[in-house]
Amino acid sequence: MSVRTTCPYCGVGCGVLASSDGTIQGDPEHPANYGRLCSKGSALGETIDLDGRLLAPQIGGRRASWDDALDLVAERFSQAIAEHGPDSVAFYVSGQLLTEDYYVANKLMKGFIGSANIDTNSRLCMASSVAGHKRAFGTDTVPGTYADLEEADLIVLVGSNLAWCHPVLHQRIAAAKEARPAMRVVNVDPRRTATSELADLHLQIAPDGDIALFNGLLAHLADVEAIDLDYVTAHVNGCREAIDAARKSDPLESGLAAFDLQEFYRLWAGTKKVVTVYSQGVNQSSCGSDKVNAILNCHLATGRIGTPGSGPFSVTGQPNAMGGREVGGLANMLANHLDIENADHRDAVQGFWGSPTISAKPGLKAVDLFEACASGQIKALWVMSTNPAVSLPDADGVAEAIRAVPFVAVTDILERTDTGDLADVLLPATGWGEKDGTVTNSERRISRQRAFLPAPGEARPDWKIICDVAAHMGWEDAFDYAGPAEVFAEYLALSGATRDFGRDLDLSLFADVDYAKLIPTQWPQDDQRFFAKGGFYHPDGKAKMLPVVAPSQAAGTGLRLNTGRVRDQWHTMTRTGKSPRLGSHLAEPYVEIHPVDAGALGIGDADIVELSAGRAEGLFRALITPKVARGNLFAPMHWTRQRSSASWVNALVDVGTDPVSGQPALKAGQVQAQRFAASWYGFMASASSIETVAKYSAVARTKTGWQAELAGNDRPDWLELIKHLTSTTGTDASFVEDRQAGTIRIALTRGDTLQALFFAAPEPVALARAHAVSLIGTETGGLDALAGFPGAGQVAPGATVCACMSVGINTLRQAITDGATSVEALGACTGAGTSCGSCKPELKALLLEQTSPLAAE
Amino acid sequence: MRKRLIVIGAGMATGRVLERLFEAGDDYDVTLFNAEPRGNYDRIMLSPVLAGEKLFEDIVTHDSGWYESHGVTCRFGEKVVQIDRVAKTVTAENGDLLSYDKLLFGTGSNPFMIPLPGHELDGVIAYRDFEDTERMMAMSEGSKCVVIGGGLLGLEAAAGMAARGVDVTVVHLMGHLMERQLDEAAGYLLRKALVDKGITVICQANSKEILGEDGKVRALLLDDGTELPCDLLVMAVGIRPNVALAQNAELRVGRGLVVNDQMVTSDPDILAVGECVEHRGVLFGLVAPLYDQAEVVARTLLGLDAVFEQRELSTKLKVTGCDLFSAGDFADGEGRESIVFRDPSRGIYRRLVIEGTRVVGAVMYGDTSDSGWFYGLIKSNADIAEMRDTLIFGPSYQGVTPPDPFPAVAASLLKSSSAGGNGLIKNENLERRAA
């Protein structure tokens, strides 16, 4: 019996049909995905096991009762508030929380504790979009709907690797483009990504060149008289000033050639139905808010907003970033899209809550919050369902800051996370599939998450934990809910009570809905767009075009480090990291580096690269590719201290925040790079977990257990090393050693069963990894196991391309050699790309690589 | 008139010579002397007989019917006592004088008996023939036996008796067993296998004296004072070519009976084959070169051209159920590098000795499945530089699907098909539209 719920990953918010046996299917009736799922969503069934779960509260690393843990949290928070005031405590919460969780957390902090020190990892995600929206529209409103992506004649993807980060939207665009080949897609990104495969034009922009690009566009629109004077006159302020400012920008500062700029500008100016989709490449910048406004300016100036097939479209990274924004779960918001600085708004909310107080000023935003932790201002901190010790810039500094706080509580589903490891109290939360609530996706659609599994151990839902703490702090009456439905009902009631303020967030449609049966529905109602006929939320009802200035492109001394995501991982891998299928796509932290830079630094394929910034250092596998521009690097942000020895990339990024939104510039690291002088490289596959004890370690789940990529600059005793890498005991070891060549292979068996394989060599180890992994747990022994690749008559599938169907690159290349000439043909003969379709861009690239050798590099 | 061929010794080598002669249809009248009172049998298979796995009848290679059908005059249990090369006659033990046109020596070898005090006691034997085997087979369960010599023959004897419930101790002078065929690691595995069979193995053991009682062996005394009680003492410390008769006949004899490449001795009508032979300074104890010699002898007797060539030495043996193989030179040394595979729990070991880019030696224990291929690499002096990393895994791991050249990031190393020089890409339709 399957349950209708939603995916817990990105902001697309796909509907999922889930069963307690782990069967996962896309919900064909959900308007976000109509049955589609990406590789991450498809693998959700592999993430719901209880391995590593936190199943009971812990105090100081020891199991404790809920009562003791709640008492302690309440006591330490109350004590800090009593001694140092409400601003001495803070919550750092998550876009993974459900709206109900968020609502009670916000209510507790702002209405009862009396501080606005509640910020969220959404600050890292879309704070600049929120700021841009508010500056332009008067409120944080996403004007369009997903259907616009299908109706547009031109889609401009700015700073968005949609193919990997919002795969289902990417698929919807790809399907629309196939059905309507006249549709154009332009991809603006400093690096070439899987998304570029879909694009008619890839504009390899200089980092933070967006404002120059869009200011140039605005000036061009004015020049070619593409400004919608009627719309602007009726609904927009500041158009002239914005255009004047735009003319002062030099479009060439975007880093693009004049010809390409003209082509893009002509295309944009000449296409009425244009959607500009933007994401972290815009938001995670020291000028992110201005980038957003530069984009919004173009849409406002042309009136291309809120009509089918046109408008700006911020796609959020998290499943409930939008829900969090709606209930006010950010330090600079109040609740329900109301303003913290507005006394009328505060009075209304305080009155509704019947709360003893209400925070009158914005609290600390994420980066400032952890600086306040470091400085000693924060005496008690509660981190909920997020991992700031990995995800924030200067991640090691943040870890130190958390350690410096006298009392830290962490709520999570896992016992071990980089942040949980720093906590005084661990509180076990129910995870996806175990909890009930609502989420809002990027197109304002509220969907239910529904439980289909029992709560494991003593885990409780986040809203319940927050209410329990509130009760232990003495506010049980205000936090007495029988379930999430009652929280949601209160949220709706607050919305009703504040409707007179005339904000965009109108939930009246939901007032009479049966929470249990709530079907995915947009607010204020399905298919309603905003602003086609004005109706903005500034006092005069008009929008504001903002004059924005392109940042000067200061030349850094090192290489520019861009960070981001990979196709098959989510955030800090606490869930996707459990899935063997997902771990097989890109199983280690890597850095993309241009061939010229790599050559100058003496870095070869598969070398380990040491990146450093100040005191911070990190190790990453070199992926030499012209997809990044010279002087630029790219590294994924998923790896943690649990899964790597030295590869949590945000430790290397510490370059300030957007002054308006407080969003950190996570894509603008300045680093030095050099080849890591490894004396050995290794690979291990094991039935049991692998510790990150080597200088370079990257651990991933496999179908047969675990695997690790390893390297070191020492001369280890191999057997000693293996003892530290794995806790496996009672095994027999067999070896192949070529001491002069410096290669060693070790197999550990228990009885006849292969428990672990270890390979090391002075060069990056060449072996068929998937094959080696597949041998673990079998009775393959001796030389056949130690060879690390299949002998005659066997074919190694090669590195995984299609995670859903487990299809490797060798299998695909063979299929192409055997005559497959299209993505569909590859799917028919290998199964690749036939499930979630996230790998289709890679299949396409593979086909082009093999079938048109002249076009290949 | 049919030519007369007299063969002295009915061993494995002369048996093969006769087969080849008769296959060629030649009309030699053959007289076959054998000191043992029986005809040709497979001496290698005495061990399974000792172990009780085979009966003696099973290992007889040529029975009386075969000799009869080929007109061989068998004089088994009779020795030749004298040869007159001028008259071209031999004298049998009973005084019979027989003329020959060609004479073939196949006198084999004698086991070397260390002249320890007490070596003539009753119960001190070698392990050479069926009589020795019968002696060992007669040992009762629980009785004690000491074997001096940890080479192939000694270990076969030890294992065979151990299989019969005899309490066996092997005493070996060198540091590890079968040191000529195995390196130390393989010798260790072999020792472990024997110990697992209940055999006591003492290496680096110097025998001092054989102690007796009433003319019968009682114990072996080692020079460290250890006394090893025994009811039977088997010496298996090596063989010496049996050249006494040849020496009497004043044939050229070195360590063995010297032959040329055609297997002819210093007398053009006298040939020799087998363990009694010395060819280019080398003696022979393994069956493969003996069979090669037999082929040459037969062709020479038939008047055909033939040359005996010593092949690169390789040894592939089964010792007490353990497969082992060695070839080439596997001693450690300057410029020598080793690729080693060890699987102690399964008792498998493989070592390749590399010099530069060539394999010069190989030792395998427990699994000799790829020995032929390694032997070929040694013989052909093949350059293995390109396959050094995968060499030890054997022929089925060469030239197959190349392993992933890169670690986990391989999948995204897909070359991008259309990235232009300035990073700008376009689809054709857009270019056409823009043009």
Confidence of residue B312 (pLDDT cuts 50, 70, 90): low
All residues of chain B having their beta carbon less than 8 Å from the beta carbon of residue A623 are: 409, 412-413
Query: Searching chain B, which residue's CA lies closest to the CA of residue A567?
Result: B412
A735 touches chain B (CB under 8 A): yes
Burial B105-142 (b: 16+ CB within 10 A, else e): bbbbbbbebeebebbebebbbbbbbbebbebbbebeee
Least confidently predicted of A733-737, B352-356, B375-379 = B375-379
Q: Are the beta carbons of B344 and A845 separated by less than 8 Å?
A: no
Q: Are the beta carbons of B423 and A263 separated by less than 8 Å?
A: no
| Cα–Cα distance, B16 to A426 (Å, whole number) | 84
All residues of chain A having their beta carbon less than 8 Å from the beta carbon of residue B343 are: 734-735, 747, 781-782
Q: Are the beta carbons of A764 and B406 separated by less than 8 Å?
A: yes
B103 touches chain A (CB under 8 A): no
Query: Searching chain A, which residue's CA lies closest to the CA of residue B355?
Result: A740
* DSSP helix/strand/coil, A9: coil
Q: Are the beta carbons of A734 and B341 separated by less than 8 Å?
A: yes
A812 touches chain B (CB under 8 A): no
B357 touches chain A (CB under 8 A): no
**For range A822-835, the mean pLDDT:** 86
How far off is chain B from A857, nearest CA to CA, in Å?
Answer: 7
| Cα–Cα distance, A167 to B352 (Å, whole number) | 52
Q: Which of B339, B412, B427 sits opposite A738 (nearest CB)?
A: B339
Which of B409, B413, B429, B432 best tests the A interface by mutation, with the highest count of A CBs <10 A? B409
- Please choose, from the candidates B349, B328, B51, the residue with its C-alpha nearest in 3D space to the C-alpha of residue B193: B349
ipTM exceeding cut-off 0.90 for this assembly: no
DSSP A265-280: HHHHHT-SSEEEEE-H
Write out the H or E segment, with its range, that includes residue A484.
Answer: helix A484-497
Which of residues B281 and B421 earns the better pLDDT score?
A: B281
pLDDT of residue B346: 86
A767 touches chain B (CB under 8 A): yes
Mean pLDDT of chain B: 88
Peptide bond into A524 cis (omega under 30): yes
Confidence of residue B44 (pLDDT cuts 50, 70, 90): confident
In the predicted structure, residue B314 carries a pLDDT above the cut 50:
yes
In the predicted structure, residue A26 carries a pLDDT above the cut 90:
yes
Query: Searching chain A, which residue's CA lies closest to the CA of residue B399?
Result: A792
pLDDT of residue B414: 40
pLDDT of residue A632: 96
| Cα–Cα distance, B175 to B172 (Å, whole number) | 8
Q: Are the beta carbons of B396 and A732 separated by less than 8 Å?
A: no
**Residues A250-285 pLDDT 10s:** 999 999 999 999 999 999 999 999 999 999 999 999
Which of B413, B415, B422 best tests the A interface by mutation, with the highest count of A CBs <10 A? B415
pLDDT of residue B175: 92
Q: What residue type is A818 in one-letter code?
A: D
Scanning A243-272 for CB atoms below 8 A from B yields 256-257, 260, 263
**For range A737-745, the mean pLDDT:** 94
Q: Are the beta carbons of B412 and A192 separated by less than 8 Å?
A: no
pLDDT of residue B420: 30
Mean pLDDT of chain A: 94
Burial A377-399 (b: 16+ CB within 10 A, else e): bbbbbbbbbbbbbbbbbbbbbbb
**Residues A538-579 pLDDT 10s:** 999 999 999 999 998 766 778 999 999 999 999 999 999 999
A789 touches chain B (CB under 8 A): yes
Q: Are the beta carbons of A792 and B407 separated by less than 8 Å?
A: no
Confidence of residue A794 (pLDDT cuts 50, 70, 90): low
**Residues A95-104 pLDDT 10s:** 999 999 999 9
Q: Calculate helix-pair angle for B184-196, B152-163, nearest 10 degrees.
A: 20
How far off is chain B from A735, nearest CA to CA, in Å?
Answer: 5
Write out the H or E segment, with its range, that includes residue A778.
Answer: none
Cβ pair A185, A342 in contact under 8 A: no
| Cα–Cα distance, A159 to A281 (Å, whole number) | 4
Q: What residue type is A665 in one-letter code?
A: A
Can you give B6-27 as a three-state secondary structure string?
A: EEECCCHHHHHHHHHHHHCCCC
Which of A734, A783, A806, A839 best tests the B interface by mutation, with the highest count of B CBs <10 A? A783
A606 touches chain B (CB under 8 A): yes
In the predicted structure, residue A241 carries a pLDDT above the cut 90:
yes
Q: Are the beta carbons of A736 and B340 separated by less than 8 Å?
A: yes
Query: Searching chain B, which residue's CA lies closest to the CA of residue A759?
Result: B389
Q: Are the beta carbons of B408 and A627 separated by less than 8 Å?
A: no
- Please choose, from the candidates A283, A277, A11, A324, the residue with its C-alpha nearest in 3D space to the C-alpha of residue A127: A283
Scanning B366-405 for CB atoms below 8 A from A yields 367, 388-390, 392-397, 400-405
A833 touches chain B (CB under 8 A): no
All residues of chain B having their beta carbon less than 8 Å from the beta carbon of residue A587 are: 407-409
B344 touches chain A (CB under 8 A): yes
Q: What residue type is A839 in one-letter code?
A: C
How far off is chain A from B371, nearest CA to CA, in Å?
Answer: 14
How far off is chain B from A510, nearest CA to CA, in Å?
Answer: 45
Q: Are the beta carbons of A201 and B426 separated by less than 8 Å?
A: yes
B427 touches chain A (CB under 8 A): yes
A743 touches chain B (CB under 8 A): yes
In the predicted structure, residue A470 carries a pLDDT above the cut 70:
yes
pLDDT of residue B429: 35
CB burial of residue B305 (10 Å; 0-12, 13-18, 19+): exposed
Q: Are the beta carbons of B417 and A852 separated by less than 8 Å?
A: yes
| Cα–Cα distance, B258 to B256 (Å, whole number) | 6
Scanning A535-554 for CB atoms below 8 A from B yields none
B339 touches chain A (CB under 8 A): yes
| Cα–Cα distance, A509 to A524 (Å, whole number) | 7
In the predicted structure, residue A174 carries a pLDDT above the cut 70:
yes
**Residues B194-238 pLDDT 10s:** 999 999 999 999 999 999 999 999 999 999 999 999 999 999 998
A588 touches chain B (CB under 8 A): yes
Q: What is the pTM of this model?
A: 0.84
Q: What is the CA A374 to chain-centroid distance, rounded? A: 26
A1 touches chain B (CB under 8 A): no
Confidence of residue A856 (pLDDT cuts 50, 70, 90): very low
B346 backbone dihedrals φ, ψ, rounded to 5°: -95, 0
pLDDT of residue B406: 62
Q: Across-strand partners of A747?
A: A734, A757
Q: Which of A202, A588, A736 sits opposite B407 (nearest CB)?
A: A588
Query: Searching chain A, which residue's CA lies closest to the CA of residue B400?
Result: A792
Q: Are the beta carbons of B414 and A782 separated by less than 8 Å?
A: no
